[in-house]
Amino acid sequence: MWKDFLKTHVPESVLIPPANFVKSIQLRRARRLINASSATFEYLAFEEIERLDHQFRDTSFAASQKNYSDEQEMRVASERLKKIYRRVPGIDQMKNVLELGCGTGACSRLLSQNYRIHTTGVDQVLPQPETMNKTKFLDFIVMDAQDLKFDDQSFDLIFSFDAFEHIANPEKALKEAHRVLRPGGYLYLYFGPLFPSSLGLHLYNRIKIPYCQFLFRPEDLNKYLSIKNRGSLDKSFCNGWSILDFRNLFDKMRLSFDTHFYQETPDLFNKGPLWKWPSCFRKVDDPESLFVSFIEVLLQKPDKSPELIKSSVRQVR
């Protein structure tokens, strides 16, 4: 499909500016439609789930490839590490790396193999922590990213993929990451889809209806999933944070971290339900959150304390 072709063959740096332009046009249309829609917030009827489920059944999302074989998993991990290598300087000099929300641990495994850097993967749920192939350079620990059991300044690099839209309190996790990073250490995050974006409910192959989190009552979605034997919605699965929440958080953390790179990926596709049923989106704080799906950010813990940085800024002024 051309969307996949663009993603694979054209660098993001080339795609993002025109995508942001299209986003601004779509966002204006969304604001107009939502404002003009019935003032009462509405959900669609339960029966619509089945109809739309059939309509979107054959949609293929890049994000729907979720049950990877080992080989696919290592391929994905290798693509992810390329992102880190591209952004983070001096990886080959590092001694201790931490991955937050490591899941099956493919990224940590590959990084420790490629560079022989001691890498620790933590996750609140590890499927089989005892059989996760630990080595001299690799460790997996069941641990909450919001309450890390490591000493201060233990790591040169902390990274995380697709976990910060799940972690219940991303602010706590960022503060913990800051605490356990050494001064000068890097924090690299890539995560999404954010909850209010089109695939934000993370149901992927189970219900492919874009924005179903706004179209239907959660209890109706649960009932439908249960009738179809497709599991259930797990309330703790996604933290519900929007792009505005994350922007506020990164703004707030500005004194603690230097920002080297920050990029939002516009969510331009799957907009049919938004154009058709704008009143379902009236409870969204700001329609912009419907149009951003991923965040990539590289932060660095300054070598000096925030007080010193503030005072040196004052001196320069």
Ligand X SMILES: C[S@@+](CC[C@H](N)C(=O)[O-])C[C@H]1O[C@@H](n2cnc3c(N)ncnc32)[C@H](O)[C@@H]1O
Give the footprint of ligand X on this chain (CB under 6 A): 101-103, 123-125, 144-146, 161-163, 166-167
Distance of alpha carbon 139 from the chain centroid: 23
Q: Rounded to the nearest whole angstrom, what is the least distance from the CB of residue 75 to ligand X in the complex?
A: 12
Which candidate, 147, 131, 139, places its Cα nearest to that of 98? Answer: 139
DSSP state, residue 190? E
Are 209 and 280 contacting, i.e. CB atoms less than 8 angstroms apart?
no
Quote the least distance from Cβ 253 to ligand X, whole Å: 18
* CB 137, min distance to ligand X, A: 19
Nearer to ligand X, 48 or 162 (CB): 162
Please say which residue, 163 or 199, places its beta carbon nearer to ligand X.
Answer: 163
**How far is residue 281's CA from residue 288's CA, in Å, rounded to a whole number?**
11
What is the closest distance, in whole angstroms, from the C-beta atom of residue 163 to ligand X in the complex? 4
Which of 1/125 has CB closer to ligand X? 125
Residue at 110: amino acid letter:
L
Among residues 106 and 215, whose Cβ is nearest to ligand X? 106
CB 63 → ligand X: shortest distance, Å? 10
Q: Closest residue (Cβ) to ligand X?
A: 103
Q: What is the DSSP letter of 210?
A: T
166 neighbors 237 (Cβ within 8 angstroms):
yes
Residue nearer to ligand X on the CB measure, 175 or 271: 175
* Residue 122, φ and ψ in degrees, nearest 5: -120, 145
| Closest alpha carbon to 283 in 42, 91, 84 | 42
Give the whole-angstrom CA distance, residue 140 versus residue 108. 9
